[in-house]
Amino acid sequence: MAETNKGRSEEEVARAFVNHYYHLFDNDRSSLFTLYSSTSLLTFEGQKIYGVEDIFNKLKQLPFDQCRHLISTVDSQPSSMAGGCGGILVFVSGSIQLHGEDHPLRFSQTFHLVPLPQGSFFVQNEMFRLNYG
């Protein structure tokens, strides 16, 4: 991921990540694989998907090509795994407008960002749910 944590608060890093992630998702979904690692885990509507390759294949196989995310809220907090890794937990709520559809779909998504030695982050854990009702 391009963003770094040098001198930035977790809120700034979280906001930069969210902007970057949804820009890629909406405009260049094939580039999302750069945000994951072999240890990443995505839970998508209850289905657990492990590793960068399987996560990338899941995102590639979604039944729509074009969409636009409209973000309502971004909440973040520092996470301290064993050894104080400096990770960040990010919770996002918003809606997805699918191309050709009249009504947006509400969603919630959580990311656990873990820092890399060079100062960037990768997505260790991610959970996604559509919000019905």
The structure's pTM equals 0.91
Name the β-bridge partners of 98: 67
Q: Tell me the three state secondary structure of residue 67.
A: strand
Tokens of residue 133, six digits? 């009702």
User: Pick from 125, 123, 115, 129: which is nearest to 6 by CA?
Assistant: 115
Between CA 26 and CA 16 the distance in angstroms is 16
Question: One digit per residue, pLDDT tens: the chain, 133 residues?
Answer: 434 455 688 999 999 999 999 999 999 999 999 999 999 999 999 999 999 999 999 999 999 989 999 999 999 999 876 556 789 999 999 999 999 999 999 999 999 999 998 889 999 999 999 998 7
